[in-house]
Amino acid sequence: MARTALIKVKPRRYKVGDIVTIASIIMHPMHTGLQKDKKTGKIIPAQYVKKIEVFYGDEKVTWMDLFPSVSANPFISFNLKVTKAAPLKIVWTENDGKVTEKTIQIKPKG
């Protein structure tokens, strides 16, 4: 199943020196390994996001360790001081080692 994330920057207009809020939802079912498939009755194997890392340009600006008990489609939010125009990349690693990422561009005005 393809995984993705939605990333929003608030406010929409910002300049170098501003502090913005980055809000993201990672589309992921976050199976704990304890749920049963309603049709078959079999246990759904554990599949969850284990780690999230956030990069601004080449610098890691934050990271989070997650656990199986986190709800499906986890929402993360953090503040970021805008220092330059650069990509903002969110990278998440699942418990089975699969790595997925989503990148947006931080484009300060003025």
Question: Residue 72: what pLDDT?
Answer: 95
**CB neighbours of residue 90 within 10 Å:** 20
CB-count burial class (<10 Å; 0-12, 13-18, 19+) for 20 = buried
Contact 90, 102 (CB under 8 A): yes
DSSP-assigned beta bridge partners for residue 5: 26
- CATH code, 4-106: 2.60.40.10
> What HEC string does the chain produce?
CCCEEEEEEECCCCCCCCEEEEEEEEECCCECCCCECCCCCCECCCECEEEEEEEECCEEEEEEECCCCCCCCCEEEEEEECCCCEEEEEEEEECCCCEEEEEEEECCCC
Mean pLDDT by 10 residues, the chain (110 residues): 85 97 96 95 96 98 96 96 98 97 94
The token duo for 110 is: 């003025």
Domain edges within the chain: 4-106
pTM: 0.91
